[in-house]
Amino acid sequence: MIHDLSTLTGRNTILYFSAFLNHGKNSINTDINDKDVNALMETVKGTDKKKGLDLILHTPGGEIGATEQIISYLKSYYGDDIRAIVPQMAMSAGSMIAVSCKSILMGRQSCIGPFDPQLGGVACQSMLREYKYAVKEVTNNPACLGLWQVMFSKLTPTFLTRCQQADELVDKLTDKILSGKGLSAAKVKDIKKKFAKNDDTKAHNRHIDREECRKVGLAVEDLESRQDIQDLVLGIHHCCMILADKTNLDKIVENNIGGNYILATAIPPTNT
C-alpha cells in the first residue's frame, strides 16, 4: 500500500510507525532515538529526491537530539519539499518533525501535540515557574521556607540549570524549523506559544487538532479532501496497528520501493 500511495501522489513515501499505543512503555524502542537515523538512511536510499517526500508519522516523540538530526538529515536530502502525514498521532518530538515540514496532512481524528521540554517526565517550564514562585513566596513570607526546602531538597544538582538549557534549546530549534516558511513574526510567536510553551496547553499530552494548527498559521491539508489518498493512508495505519497488536513489533520505517527497517522487542526464551 505504501507503493500504491506513492504512485497516486507521485511522491516518495516513507512510513515511520511506532507501536507506542500497542506496547505502552514496555519497550524503549518505541520512542524517537538515534537508531532512527540509521532507519531513515536505509529508507531514503534509492528514492528520487526530486519527487519530494511524504512522511507518514505515528509516534509519541522522544529524544530532542535525535529529532534535530532527523529533521536536518531529511531536509538535506529533500530540501523543503517534505509533507508530514498524520493518520492518528504525532506527539512531542514527533510534532516538532511535523511542524518542520512544508505542510501537514491531517484527518478529523488526527492530532499533534506540544513539544515543550521534559526532563525525566518533569515539564521544564513548569519547574522553572515553580522555582520562581517559591523564591517570591519565601521572600514575602520567610516562615514558609521549610516547606519549600523539603521539595527542592529532592532535586539533583544542576537540574534547574538543565531545565533552563532545555527550554532555551527548544526555543532555538523552534525558530530554526520555522525559518524559511515565510511566516510573519506574529505567526511565529503564535506557533511557539501553542507548541513550544506550556502556559496555554498546560499538559504535555494535550491533543492539538488540525483546526487549532491552522489557527496558529501552520499549513494543513485535509485528509478527507481525497478519498483515494485517505483510504490508503488509513489502510496503512490500520495494518500497522493490527500487526503491532499481534506481534512484538516496536517500530517500522519503510519506503515505497521496498526499503525497510523493523525493530522488535526480543521475546525471552521459554523454559522447556
pLDDT beyond 50 at 238 = yes
Residues linked to residue 18 through DSSP beta bridges, in sequence order? 251
Residue 190 inside a domain? The answer is no
Q: pLDDT tens digits, residue range 80-109?
A: 999 999 999 999 999 999 999 999 999 999
Buried b (16+ CB within 10 A) or exposed e, 41-70: eebbeebeeebbbbbbbbbbbbebebbbeb
Q: pLDDT tens digits, residue range 143-154?
A: 999 999 998 998
Residue 50 inside a domain? The answer is yes
Domain end, chosen from 183, 215, 232, is at 183
Are residues 109 and 152 both part of a single domain?
no
The whole-angstrom separation of Cα 237 and Cα 223 is 13
Q: pLDDT tens digits, residue range 218-236?
A: 999 999 999 999 999 999 9
pLDDT beyond 50 at 272 = no
The whole-angstrom separation of Cα 71 and Cα 100 is 7
Are residues 108 and 243 both part of a single domain?
yes
Is 198:123 a contact under the CB 8 Å cutoff? yes
Average pLDDT for the chain: 94
Predicted local distance difference test score (pLDDT) of residue 26: 59
The grid coordinates listed for 19 are: 507501536
Between 196 and 24, where is the model more confident?
196
Residue 45 inside a domain? The answer is yes
pLDDT beyond 90 at 132 = yes
Give Cβ neighbours of residue 38 (< 8 Å, ≥ 6 apart).
261
The whole-angstrom separation of Cα 241 and Cα 60 is 14
pLDDT beyond 90 at 180 = no
Q: pLDDT tens digits, residue range 26-84?
A: 567 899 999 999 999 999 999 999 999 999 999 999 999 999 999 999 999 999 999 99
Q: Tell me how long the chain is.
A: 272
Residue 191 inside a domain? The answer is no
The residue type found at 9 is T
Are residues 152 and 34 both part of a single domain?
no
Where residue 28 sits, what CATH number does that domain have?
3.90.226
The whole-angstrom separation of Cα 67 and Cα 117 is 13
Predicted local distance difference test score (pLDDT) of residue 264: 87
The model's pTM is 0.93
Are residues 216 and 99 both part of a single domain?
yes
Q: Which of 91, 166, 153 is nearest to 123 (CA)?
A: 166
Are residues 234 and 99 both part of a single domain?
yes
In the predicted model, what is the mean pLDDT of residues 242-270?
A: 85
The grid coordinates listed for 161 are: 540549570
Are residues 88 and 107 both part of a single domain?
yes
Are residues 151 and 40 both part of a single domain?
no
Residue 171 inside a domain? The answer is yes
In the predicted model, what is the mean pLDDT of residues 253-272?
A: 77
The grid coordinates listed for 242 are: 493490527
Are residues 152 and 256 both part of a single domain?
no
Residue 126 inside a domain? The answer is yes
Give Cβ neighbours of residue 256 (< 8 Å, ≥ 6 apart).
2, 3, 5, 6, 7, 12, 13, 14, 47
Question: pLDDT over 90 for what percent of the chain?
Answer: 91
Are residues 71 and 156 both part of a single domain?
no
What secondary structure letter does DSSP report for 218? -
pLDDT beyond 50 at 269 = no
The whole-angstrom separation of Cα 18 and Cα 15 is 10
Q: Residue 91 is part of which domain span?
A: 2-113+207-264
Are residues 141 and 107 both part of a single domain?
no
pLDDT beyond 50 at 206 = yes
In the predicted model, what is the mean pLDDT of residues 166-173?
A: 96
Domain end, chosen from 151, 168, 183, is at 183
Residues linked to residue 123 through DSSP beta bridges, in sequence order? 118
Predicted local distance difference test score (pLDDT) of residue 266: 60
Tally of domains within the chain? 2
Residue 270 inside a domain? The answer is no
Are residues 150 and 57 both part of a single domain?
no
Label residue 25 by pLDDT band (50, 70, 90).
low
Residue 165 inside a domain? The answer is yes
Are residues 17 and 82 both part of a single domain?
yes
